[in-house]
Each structure stands twice: as C-alpha cells, then as structure tokens.
Amino acid sequence: MTNLAQWLSQHAVDQKLASVVASMAAASVEIDQVLRRAPITGQIGVVGRTNIQGEAQKALDVISNDVVLKHLQDNPEVSILVSEELDEAVHFGTNGPYLVATDPLDGSSNLDVNVTVGTIFSVLDAAGGLLQKGSAQLAAGYAAYGPATNLVLTFGQDVTVFTLDLDGDWVLSKEGLRIAPASEEYAINTARERFWDAATKGYVAENVAGESGPAGKRYNMRWVGSMVADIHRILMRGGIFMYPLDSETMSKGGRLRLLYEANPMALLVTAAGGGATTGRQKILDLQPNDIHQRVPVILGSAEEVARVEAWYERG
C-alpha cells in the first residue's frame, strides 16, 4: 500500500507544493472527523450569518473554513488564501510561494440529510496574484466525504485517487483515472428548465428523447445537488454535469464560483480526458475579474461536452 506522502515523493512533486497538498489533505481528514460526528455534537444547521454570496452559512461551513485556515496558516509555503466563506482574500504575511483557493465545504445544503459533500481546492503561484486563469493552476483536488472518503488530486497531467483509511492515512486507490468519453448519464437541476437557454433546452430534450431521438441512445438523469458528489460520479463512470447560464443566474454570471469550484474541477476533468466549458469558452481560459466570480459550468465526458458546445455554436 502506498500513502499520499510516499506517492508525492515517488512522483518527485516539488516539496513545497507537496506540502501545500499535504496541508489540504490533513485539513480534509479533520473535516471528515467533524462531519462524521456532527449529528452527535449538534454541529448541524445554520449559524445565522450569510457569506458574501448572500448564502446562509451552516455551522459546518464555518468550522470547515476554520480548519482549512488553521492548516494553511501553519504552512509557511502558503501566503494567500481565498475561500468561499471569507469575503476578502487572507494574506498570511509570509513569502510563501503559493496561493490556495478553496470551497471548504461544498454542497452544504446536503449536510442535514447526510449526503456526500466535499472540500474543493486549487493551488496557484502566489506571485501571479489573485485573479489567474484556471490554466495557471499548479494543482487541484477535492475530498469527497461519502461512504468512503476520497481525495482526488491532479497536478495537471494525471488524476489520482486516494481513500482515507480508518487510521487517518490517505491510501492510493487509483492512478491515471480517465473519464469515459461516451456516456448515457447527465446531471442538471431540471427544476430550472423554465430559465434555460436554447442550447441547454435542445441538448436535454435530445437526451430525454433517448433512442427515438437524434442522440440514438437512452439516457438517465442523476443530480445529487452536491457538486463534489456529482463530479466524483462522473470521474468514476462518465457523464456530464451542467450548471449553465440561465435567465435567472444571468445577472450574476452563473451559479458556481470560478476560482474555487469551476477551475479546480475543470483541471481535474480535463486531466482525466474530459471537457470543461461555459458552453462558449473553455473554463480554464477564463480571465477572472473577482475572487468570488460566478461562471456557467459544463463538464464531463468529452463526447457529451462536445454535443453541448455544438448546440451553443448553433445559437
């Protein structure tokens, strides 16, 4: 069995960068332990505050953010932290070469029902400043807290999966993960259909038509409502995840956030051979203009993403 520390040293990952990934992995172990006991400790529910996105913060959002903050503050290689739960970027006052952008606990509306949630992170060169394109990411990953807790990691080339052992060790479980190019599964919040644009409507209608429509095959729909859980399923067995720009999210630019949701997931999916687009532009090529900027997100199996892009080209 190979653990994360051994894997990082075997793959000659720069030691400073490896330490940042190790800090996020250690924070995720701690968050995992908090989540597993939350119904006992009573750490469920909202804290009565909203974050800068105007969303109610859950107790576990705040706790998870504090855990990540503590681990990164203790790592001299990190000088800047951007978090979904913090209005402003935090400058640690060190010369650490790295910036970390994170959603400490994504999918937190699922917490009270014990559904998989996750910690998403992106590592960038701090010298490049706060607003860097996703293509500049040096590493990205997420921890998915489910029946098993997984750490899914990329340095831009390959995707590697680790599983949390009972003694708190991340054990290597899969290397060279590839997303199946073809799939019969799509994930989108269909309750938003009335807000959709023509491309989204057209693509989903083809899928719903199944074998009797132009797609020529039957589809299934799966939507957890927790991005980490949906993307994890797609990385494991193919599919497409869509949170497109629609008439309701238009004024905000989309639903999901570029720096700590879309970009790290786009790097992972792309490194696994999939596609990641807004519909009109590659997510990794977007120039951010705000640390909490929102964007449309369409990612997953290459053939499905190409079909959606073709719909956008038509319109």
Binding site for ligand AHM (CB under 6 A): 55, 84, 103, 106-109, 189, 225-227, 255
Nearest approach, Cβ of residue 84 and Mg ion (Å): 5
Alpha carbon 2 to chain centroid, angstroms:
25
Alpha helices, DSSP H only, in the chain? 4-10, 15-41, 59-73, 198-209, 227-237, 263-271, 302-314
Residue 108 binds: one of Mg ion, ligand AHM, none (C-beta under 5 to 8 A by kind) = ligand AHM
Which CB, 133 or 192, lies closer to ligand AHM?
Answer: 192
What would the two tokens of residue 92 be?
């640690």
Which of 106, 185, 246, 309 touches Mg ion by CB under 5 A?
106
Q: Which stretch binds Mg ion (CB under 5 A): 18-26, 101-109, 169-177, 216-224?
A: 101-109
Nearest approach, Cβ of residue 103 and ligand AHM (Å): 5
Spatial neighbors of 148 by CB under 8 A, at least 6 apart, are: 163, 164
Nearest approach, Cβ of residue 77 and ligand AHM (Å): 26
Which CB, 97 or 118, lies closer to ligand AHM?
Answer: 118
Residue 286 binds: one of Mg ion, ligand AHM, none (C-beta under 5 to 8 A by kind) = none
Cα–Cα distance between 280 and 112 in angstroms, integer?
Answer: 36
Which CB, 8 or 38, lies closer to ligand AHM?
Answer: 38
Spatial neighbors of 88 by CB under 8 A, at least 6 apart, are: none
Torsion over CA: 143, 149, 150, 151 (sign): positive
Cα–Cα distance between 108 and 105 in angstroms, integer?
Answer: 6
Which CB, 76 or 225, lies closer to ligand AHM?
Answer: 225
Nearest approach, Cβ of residue 211 and ligand AHM (Å): 28
Which CB, 54 or 93, lies closer to ligand AHM?
Answer: 54
CA angle (163, 134, 192) in 5-degree steps: 80
